[in-house]
């Protein structure tokens, strides 16, 4: 399976007045594409801190001591804030725990929903235009070197001109299509409501249908029947009102079903090739005959464009791509040689000024090896400069900081001992010394270099056996997309329409009325739905849900879980689901990680965790939740989690664990492998440990679940 | 003061709280929100009565109306036979309307307007009498200190404790208001209660922010039981707590109930906890009570489609059951035919009430006798 997000050896601590609080202690996990990973644990176990680290929104006093969070090939802990802007919210979105504090109380919810859309749209227009111009410029410079500058300039200006037409056509087509879909849905819904005699608030929805019918009329959607649709929809509201007065109510459903049929017909039409048609309209003929079939038009326009423009354009781009590949490969091999020369110097004793000079040389060499015609920006090469700067800074600041820390620790300990010797019991404790591992910091620098070297080798190889035709097509597609996005403007009303749709899809009644209300007018469940809708506005890749349903009641919880599950399937989302409700975990998760005191104590598939739990903490969690048949006293976990400023030497759960062994208080257990997918960190799994059974209540429950499952299977077989 | 007639110990047939056609409407004439609409139920001594439903269905409003945090629109609540809530809102509204009508009649003077006026006057007299008796009952309830016998535990342990008061002040506030002046007695009682709820004496002089969520909820519980109430209204006492602490608080409530003989109105939305904790359960939907039965009966034979959809939505800690779970959707439009007959609250089986029409009533009865599948 493709891994979407990788967390490796993450260590996070917080600087507080009373010492360094270790919130996350060396955790690693992978998130695969299209799966849900549930992180379970009590509050304070570091679940939320992990998710915040992924979003890059840790509090100011947080220190990331170690580790990596890889999204694609970007390390989210190292990339710059500008780059993070493109990821946060767009690619990785988050639903927060407390809907009350994650909404702005003095802004109407509608505005909060559309705000991100409008801002992102504005930024996207600017960015796409910049991207397009960058690509144009790169093409021009490379073609200049080959000697065909004039031809490509003519091509590009042509492309710019007809692309505008293409975008116009496409957006008109898409919006009409959406309205036709809405018309179909509304006509069915309204008919049902009239049939069922439930006509509260029906007039606004009818007006909506009338509007949809009018907006859906365009060249490629409702074309021939446009006059019919207009006539029918004009009649609709009057017919309804008259019917209500006179009692003869047949006319309205008739009108609605007729409108529905027209919409349905329009939706089945073939898709127009707006790119070619745009070219055709700009350069061949500035209007198209009304009765021409769409497939015919597609073929005709496509042919014309290919002969006139596209073939030459593609040929020229391919030349440029070949040239640039050759150039960059040369630069890359030179960079590789430089790296090999420099590596021993960075492995030896480091001196600040020479190290900085050498690093500058490396940065220059890497920058020369960047191919400007690449569609997908190579983040490893682009972020090399920032990451090596960061690593050097980390190393050179660690040396004096360690000195100061040592001094402080020694003086404080001496003072403490002096007081103790006088027979006093001081009220304060000595804050433990926190040193930065200098060797690890240096290894971090060389690691970055080694990674770059292997990456360069891979890139050189990739360029040698590249498919240039495919790359050319990729560039043209990219230019098309940039051009479309650079003129695509979401108007305020369109954003409102989209927001209303989103509100409807997360289950908010009367979204139009709710759109203009303030957050305090919503109940907790409704507020949480708004928060989820906001997270979904940008179509993210990875969704982090931090206890999204904790404040909601069962029915709404079930709805929201279903909503998230559906979205996950539709968009192939990867979800990190943080919760402490085990029922929800059983419903949502594909895999589960149980966290306690900043560590993952057990992880495996859902079946592993629920049917064969191995860690005493998982047992305790499972047995403290009543299910529908529980009658006995619940087994609560005694005590509270440990203070992580002074983390316990041994297993952190040992104090609250009635199965704790002597070794639990002395040494931390490693991860024991149970099956290939199931791991747990408890000494009970050591071959020399005494055999321990999970508590009775869990055994009974598992037995019951087994029986139920077998019963179901048998039943199916019989059928 | 009314004397309570009999004291059948441990016999749970004695009704301690009786809610009769309680209505609580919010808003003005053109926009009325019926938060609680004609809700009736009894709570017997020593039992735990669970009230479930989705957010916004009126569970909390019911609880708050019972302790008169709101002025009920109509309906009565009797606590140990004495009326503690008498709704007067609807009477007042009617009076206002009558006044207007009178004005209109006087101005227009139609044929037998004198007769009409007389009728209206009679009605006015009656309404005024009702209001008077309600006010009288409210006063009597206040002076008899019955109020202290019902206490409330609030949902949010952070917001419901005053951050500027020490735990001692918070817990003893009720006693002080009731006129206890002996500081030594207060101190002893506070210590005793702290130990009952699983805290220690040293906690008395701390402030709420120094405690974890579970401990804060314990303080809330301590505050409500120091008055030795007979009944507690627990409004989602565990929904803001962590899993491991939830079990602690439920166990505490269970212990208190056994040792003090408490009656509890338990408002919650976590159905597995309600099932575990309650004897009888009432299900509310949009201000109406739609089904009421003992908890085992309700979970074994849910009749109302809303109850069924609610039960089908409970997440269980069993991945296989969860993957195959089919959630039932409740759509009042599709599931009921209320255009001809208004539904009523009827007893289908023994102690099993459902809000339904006559036709549905027969159907449910059949379902109950021969449980399908």
Please give the pLDDT value at position A259: 86
Give the minimum alpha-carbon distance from A23 to chain B in angstroms, rounded to a whole number. 17
How many angstroms separate the CA of residue A53 from the nearest CA in chain B?
23
Q: Cβ–Cβ of A580/B243 closer than 8 Å?
A: yes
d(CA A574, nearest CA chain B) in Å: 18
- Sort out which chain A residues have CB atoms less than 8 A from B317's CB and list them: 582-583, 585-586, 610, 622, 625, 627, 701
Residues of A in contact with B255 (CB under 8 A): none
What is the average pLDDT across A666-670? 87
B9: its two tokens: 């110990």
Closest alpha carbon within chain B to A620: B244
Count helices and strands in chain A by DSSP H and E runs? 23, 12
Query: In whole angstroms, what is the distance from residue B63 CA to residue B60 CA?
Result: 5
Q: Which of B269, B272, B309 sits opposite A628 (nearest CB)?
A: B272
Q: Which two tokens stand for residue B342?
A: 């208004």
DSSP 8-state code for residue B23:
E
Phi first, then psi, for residue A86 (nearest 5°) are: -75, -20
Contact list in B for residue A635 (CB cut-off 8 A) is 247
Rounded to an integer, the average pLDDT of A186-197 is 81
Between the alpha carbon of residue A342 and those of residues A198, A351, A438, A519, the distances in Å are 78, 14, 20, 58
In chain A, the residue whose alpha carbon lies closest to the alpha carbon of B155 is A551
The answer to whether the Cβ–Cβ distance between A610 and B270 falls below 8 Å is no
Measured CB to CB, residues of chain B less than 8 Å from chain A are: 53-56, 212-213, 239, 242-248, 250-251, 254, 269-273, 275-276, 299, 309-310, 313-322, 324-325, 327, 333-334, 339
State the pLDDT at residue A41: 84
CB pairs under 8 A between A and B: 131
| Three-state SS letters, A670-719 | CCEECCCCCEECCHHHCCCCCCCCCCHHHHHHHHHHHHHHHHHHHHHHHC
Q: Cβ B269–A553 below 8 Å, yes or no? A: yes
**Angle between the N-to-C axes of helices A226-246 and A202-215, in degrees from 0 to 180, rounded to the nearest 10:** 160
CATH entry 3.40.190.10 includes domain A33-46+81-105+541-719 = no
On the question of pLDDT at A569 being above 50, the answer is: yes
Residues of chain A with Cβ-Cβ distance to B275 below 8 Å are: 626, 628
Residue of A nearest to B212 (CA): A640
Closest chain B residue by Cα to residue A705: B318
3-state percent helix, strand, coil for chain A, nearest multiple of 5:
60, 10, 30
Minimal Cβ distance to A43: which of B242, B248, B271: B242
Whether residue B244 and residue A557 make contact (CB cut-off 8 A), yes or no, is: no
- Judged by average pLDDT, the poorest of A162-176, A402-416, A702-716, B163-177 is A702-716
Q: Which residue of B243, B271, B339 is in closest CB contact with A621?
A: B243
Best to test chain A binding among B320, B328, B338, B339 (most A CBs inside 10 Å): B320
Within 8 A of A628 by CB-CB distance, chain B residues are 272, 275, 299, 314, 316
In this prediction, residue A7 has a pLDDT band, given cuts at 50, 70 and 90, of very high
Mean pLDDT of all residues belonging to chain A: 83
Which residues in chain B have Cβ-Cβ distances shorter than 8 Å to A562? 327
pLDDT at A77 over 80: yes
Asked if pLDDT for residue A592 goes beyond 90, the answer is yes
| CA proximity to A433, closest of A116, A644, A129, A646 | A646
Contacts of A420 (CB under 8 A, 6+ apart): A426
Q: Nearest CA of chain A to the CA of B148: how many Å?
A: 30
The residue in chain A having the minimum alpha-carbon distance to the alpha carbon of residue B277 is A631
Segments making up each domain of chain B, as ranges: 88-144, 151-269
Instruction: Name the CATH superfamily, with its identifier, for domain B151-269.
Output: P-loop containing nucleotide triphosphate hydrolases (3.40.50.300)
Dihedral angle sign, alpha carbons of residues B186, B190, B196, B201: negative
Provide block-wise average pLDDT over 10 residues at a time, chain B (373 residues): 35 79 80 84 90 82 87 87 84 85 83 83 88 88 79 84 91 88 90 85 85 82 88 84 77 86 87 87 90 90 88 81 77 75 83 86 81 50
Task: Give the residue from chain A lying closest to B337, CA to CA.
Answer: A196
- Smallest Cα distance from B310 to chain A, Å: 6
Q: How far is B47 from chain A (nearest CA, A)?
A: 16
- The per-residue pLDDT for B10 is 42
pLDDT in tens, A615-658: 999 888 888 877 777 777 777 777 777 878 888 888 888 888 88
Residue A280: exposed, middle, or buried by beta-carbon count in 10 A (0-12, 13-18, 19+)? Answer: buried
In whole angstroms, give the CA distance from residue A303 to residue B188.
96
Gap between the Cα atoms of A13 and A64, Å rounded: 7
pLDDT at B199: 83
Closest Cα in chain A, distance from residue B129 (Å): 38
DSSP letters for A429-452: -PPPP----HHHHHHHHHHHHHHH
Interchain proximity A556–B212, CB inside 8 Å: no
Distance from CA of B289 to the nearest CA of A (A): 17
Confidence (pLDDT) at B233: 92
Give percent of chain A with pLDDT exceeding 70: 98
Which of A555, A627, A697 best tests the B interface by mutation, with the highest count of B CBs <10 A? A555
Q: Where are the beta strands (DSSP E) in B59-157?
A: 74-79, 82-86, 150-153
Question: A712, B324: Cβ pair inside 8 Å?
Answer: yes
Q: What is residue A37's predicted lDDT score, i.e. its pLDDT?
A: 93
Structure confidence at residue A714 (pLDDT): 58
Which chain A residues are closer than 8 Å to B327 by Cβ? Answer: 558, 562
Nearest-CA distance B216 → chain A (Å): 14
CB contact under 8 A, A636 and B248: yes
DSSP result, A369-412:
T--TT-SS--HHHHTHHHHHHHHHHHHHHHHHHHHHHHHHHHHH
Question: How far is residue A500's CA from residue A496's CA, in Å, rounded to a whole number?
Answer: 6
Residue B135, CA distances (Å) to B65, B69, B88 in order = 16, 15, 9
* Contact partners, residue A582, CB within 8 Å, separation at least 6: A40, A610, A621, A622, A625, B243, B317
Do residue B319 and residue A607 have CB atoms under 8 angstroms apart? Answer: yes
Question: What average pLDDT does range A202-211 have in this prediction?
Answer: 82
Distance CA A225, CA A383 (A): 56
A626–B276 CB contact, under 8 Å: yes
pTM here? 0.71
Q: Taking residues A232-242, report their average pLDDT.
A: 83
Are B295 and B281 a contacting pair, CB within 8 Å?
yes
Whether B276 and A625 lie within 8 Å, measured CB to CB:
no
């Amino acid at each position: 399976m493709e891994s979407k997000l990788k967390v490796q050896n993450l260590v996070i601590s917080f600087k507080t007045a009373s010492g360094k609080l270790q919130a996350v202690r060396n955790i690693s996990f992978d998130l695969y594409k299209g799966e849900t990973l549930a992180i379970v644990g009590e509050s304070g176990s570091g679940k939320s801190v992990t998710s915040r680290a992924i979003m890059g929104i840790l509090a100011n006093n947080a220190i990331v001591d170690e580790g990596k969070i890889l999204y694609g090939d970007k390390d989210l802990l190292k990339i710059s804030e500008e780059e993070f802007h493109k990821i946060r919210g767009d690619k990785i979105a988050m639903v927060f725990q407390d809907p009350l504090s994650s909404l702005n109380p003095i802004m109407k919810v509608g505005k909060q929903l559309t705000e991100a859309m409008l801002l992102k749209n504005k930024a996207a227009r600017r960015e796409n235009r910049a991207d397009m111009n960058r690509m144009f410029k790169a093409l021009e410079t490379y073609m200049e070197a080959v000697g065909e500058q004039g031809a490509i300039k003519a091509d590009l200006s042509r492309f710019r001109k007809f692309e505008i037409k293409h975008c116009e056509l496409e957006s008109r087509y898409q919006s009409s299509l959406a309205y036709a879909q809405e018309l179909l849905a509304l006509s069915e819904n309204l008919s049902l409501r009239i049939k069922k005699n439930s006509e509260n608030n029906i007039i606004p929805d009818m007006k909506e249908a009338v509007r949809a019918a009018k907006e859906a009329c365009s060249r490629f959607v409702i074309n021939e029947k446009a006059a019919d649709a207009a006539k029918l929809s004009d009649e609709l509201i009057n017919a309804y009102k008259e019917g209500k007065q006179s009692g003869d109510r047949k006319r309205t459903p008739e009108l609605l079903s007729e409108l529905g049929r027209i919409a349905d017909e329009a939706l089945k039409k073939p898709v127009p090739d707006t790119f070619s048609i745009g070219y055709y309209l700009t350069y061949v003929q500035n209007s198209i005959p009304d009765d021409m079939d769409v497939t015919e038009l597609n073929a005709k326009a496509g042919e014309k464009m290919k002969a006139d423009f596209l073939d030459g354009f593609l040929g020229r781009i391919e030349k440029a791509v070949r040239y640039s590949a050759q150039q960059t490969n040369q630069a890359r091999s030179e960079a590789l040689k430089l790296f090999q020369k420099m590596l021993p110097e960075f492995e030896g004793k480091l001196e600040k000024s020479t190290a900085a000079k050498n690093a500058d040389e490396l940065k220059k060499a890497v920058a020369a090896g960047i191919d400007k015609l690449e569609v997908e920006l190579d983040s490893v090469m682009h972020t090399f400069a920032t990451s090596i700067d960061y690593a050097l800074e980390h190393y050179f600041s660690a040396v004096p900081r360690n000195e100061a820390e040592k001094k402080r620790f020694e003086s404080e300990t001496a003072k403490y001992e002096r007081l103790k010797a006088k027979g006093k019991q001081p009220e304060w404790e000595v804050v433990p010394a926190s040193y930065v591992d200098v060797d690890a910091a240096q290894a971090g620098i060389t690691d970055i270099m080694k990674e770059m070297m292997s990456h360069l080798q891979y890139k050189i190889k990739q360029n040698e056996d590249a498919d240039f035709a495919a790359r050319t097509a990729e560039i043209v597609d990219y230019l098309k997309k940039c051009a479309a996005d650079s003129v695509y403007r979401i108007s305020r009303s369109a954003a409102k329409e989209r927001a209303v749709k989103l509100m409807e899809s997360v289950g908010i009644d009367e979204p139009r009325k709710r759109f203009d209300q303030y957050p305090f007018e919503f109940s907790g469940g409704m507020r949480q739905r708004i928060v989820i809708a906001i997270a979904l506005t940008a179509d993210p890749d990875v969704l982090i849900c931090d206890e999204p349903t904790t404040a909601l009641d069962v029915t709404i919880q079930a709805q929201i879980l279903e909503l998230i599950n559906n979205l996950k399937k539709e968009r192939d989302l990867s979800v990190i689901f943080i919760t402490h409700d085990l029922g929800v975990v059983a419903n949502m998760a594909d895999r589960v990680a149980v966290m306690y005191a900043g560590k993952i104590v057990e992880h495996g598939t859902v079946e592993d965790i629920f049917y064969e739990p191995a860690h005493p903490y998982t047992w305790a969690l499972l047995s403290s939740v009543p299910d529908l048949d529980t009658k006995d006293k619940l087994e609560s976990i005694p005590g509270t989690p440990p203070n992580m400023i002074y983390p316990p030497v041994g297993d952190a759960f040992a104090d609250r664990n009635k199965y704790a062994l002597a070794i639990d208080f002395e040494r931390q257990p490693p991860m024991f492998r149970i099956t290939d997918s199931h791991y747990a960190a408890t000494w009970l799994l050591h071959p020399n440990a005494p055999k321990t059974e999970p508590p009775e209540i869990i055994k009974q429950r598992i037995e019951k679940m087994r029986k139920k499952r077998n019963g179901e299977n048998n039943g199916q077989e019989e059928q | 003061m009314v004397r309570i007639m009999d004291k059948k110990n441990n016999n749970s047939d004695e009704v301690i709280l009786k809610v009769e056609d309680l209505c609580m409407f919010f808003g003005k004439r053109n926009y009325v929100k019926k938060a609680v609409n004609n809700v009736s139920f009894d709570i017997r001594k020593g039992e735990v009565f669970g009230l479930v439903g989705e957010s916004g269905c009126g569970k909390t409003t019911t609880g708050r109306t019972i302790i008169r945090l709101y002025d009920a629109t109509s309906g009565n609540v009797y606590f140990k036979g004495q009326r503690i809530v008498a709704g007067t809102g609807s009477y007042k509204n009617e009076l206002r309307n009558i006044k207007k009508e009178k004005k209109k009649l006087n101005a227009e003077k139609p044929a037998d307007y004198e007769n009409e006026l007389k009728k209206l006057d009679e009605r006015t007299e009656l309404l005024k009498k009702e209001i008077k008796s309600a006010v009288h009952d409210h006063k009597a309830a206040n002076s008899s200190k019955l109020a202290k016998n019902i206490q409330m535990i609030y949902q949010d342990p952070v917001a419901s404790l005053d951050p500027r008061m020490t735990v001692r002040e918070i817990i003893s506030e009720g006693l002080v208001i009731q006129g206890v002046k002996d500081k030594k007695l207060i101190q002893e009682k506070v210590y005793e209660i702290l130990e009952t709820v699983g805290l220690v004496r040293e906690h008395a002089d701390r402030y709420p922010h120094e405690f974890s969520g579970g401990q804060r909820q314990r303080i809330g519980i301590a505050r409500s039981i120091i008055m030795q109430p007979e009944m507690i209204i627990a409004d989602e006492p565990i929904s803001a707590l962590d899993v491991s602490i939830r079990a602690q608080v439920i166990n505490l409530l269970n212990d208190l109930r056994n040792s003090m003989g408490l009656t509890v109105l338990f408002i919650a939305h976590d159905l597995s906890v309600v099932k575990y904790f309650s004897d009888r359960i009432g299900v509310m939907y949009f201000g109406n009570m739609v089904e009421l039965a003992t908890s085992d009966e309700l979970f074994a034979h849910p009749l109302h489609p809303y109850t069924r959809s609610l039960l089908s939505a409970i997440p269980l800690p069993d991945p296989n059951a969860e993957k195959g779970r089919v959630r039932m959707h409740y759509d009042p439009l599709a599931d009921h035919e209320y255009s001809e007959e208004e539904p009523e609250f009827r007893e289908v089986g023994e102690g099993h009430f459902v809000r339904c029409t006559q036709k549905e009533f027969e159907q449910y009865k059949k379902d109950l006798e021969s449980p399908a599948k």
